[in-house]
Structure 1
Amino acid sequence: MDSQQGSGIAVEKVGTNYYDLNDIIACNSSVSCSFGRTNPKGILALTGQSVTNLSVSRGYRADIPLFLAQTVYRTGLGRIYLTFPFNNRAQDVLQADPENINLEALHQHFYRTGQRLAVIAGMLSTLFCLVYKGEAERLAETLLNTFLRRLPKIITTAVNSYAKPRKLDSIEKRIHAIGMYTEALMTDWFDFIEEGCKRRATSLKLSL
């Protein structure tokens, strides 16, 4: 997000997906984060915790919205963890057999959330340690491998069936819908061409 000053009015430049409802929902997904004992107690309100049910002196762990994770990284307030369905165990399953996994059950916005987590982990690697770099690269590879291996079946189903898509995340459902729409356009176009050829053949026959 970039800021510009013009005529006393601040203008914010935002990404193309800034107003995308699915992206907004994905940014509200929970991420596990640990906080140290030296952190200000004011951070508790942002994590939905209270001093009465935590031992702040020893530090604590809480789930925070994804949109806060980047701020946590920038300020060094805590450490972010990849939890299910983006942890190593879930990634192992996805790498082995992504075609039969129910992504809709795992996470409605699997790719959007995973992409943001990979970006955050990648940024963390530049500040802290190579552990984050390894996590970021592995997660990115898992997301790409999962998408590429599931894509052919999604397209095949979209152009050959009018069944409601199942086991797909939000991005895959959109691809499925675009595939069905494109197939319908192609069918209409071929029907139009075929009808035009029939009319031309009839007119030629009559002229003979």
Structure 2
Amino acid sequence: MIKFIIFDLGAVLIDWNPHYLYRKIFDEEEEMLHFLENICTPEWNEEQDAGRPLQEATELLVARHPEHQERIEAFYGRWHEMLGGAIEGTVDILRELKESGKYNLYALTNWSAETFPIAQEQFDFLNWFDGIVVSGTEKDRKPFSSFYHTLLSRYDVHPSEAVFIDDNLRNVKAAEQLGIDSIHFTSPEALKEALKERGVL
């Protein structure tokens, strides 16, 4: 029986994308993509998700690529410009689950502890969760099993009674290895159908 629904946040409930900022900075799309694939990379950003201070991360990258100093400093200096808003279809699903009163709702998110308060100020629905585990605060992140275990133990969640939702297939597979039924998020519509199949909606 499903008692717990665990959501990822970025690209599931919150539209976050560095392209929103860097399209304002670069004139050429190809140049922007090269910068985000080779300089301010997802792997570099994940270290901040795992607790590395933003200033330290920025200084490290500027030392390696001084010719891109202004562009690198914009990543966190103008980070709020990467937020595109709520993914309303998923927020509607979250609201329906909350109003049903049947489930404990949690969020397990890879997010810098320094930028997460910006999201908390902007998105009221974050208050609907019974608990949120933020990687930057824990200094651990998905897909490492220890990060999932932090949520499971903190909120007394049994894997067989939980459903996990994430847009990153790597994170979905990691949850499945722990015995958590997981949904690879592709759209609110597909998520709704997947939850209906499980008798959740």
- Is the TM-score greater than 0.5? no
Higher normalized contact order (CA 8 Å, seq sep 6+, divided by chain length): 2
TM-score, length-normalised on structure 2?
A: 0.31
TM-score, length-normalised on structure 1?
A: 0.30
Larger radius of gyration: 1
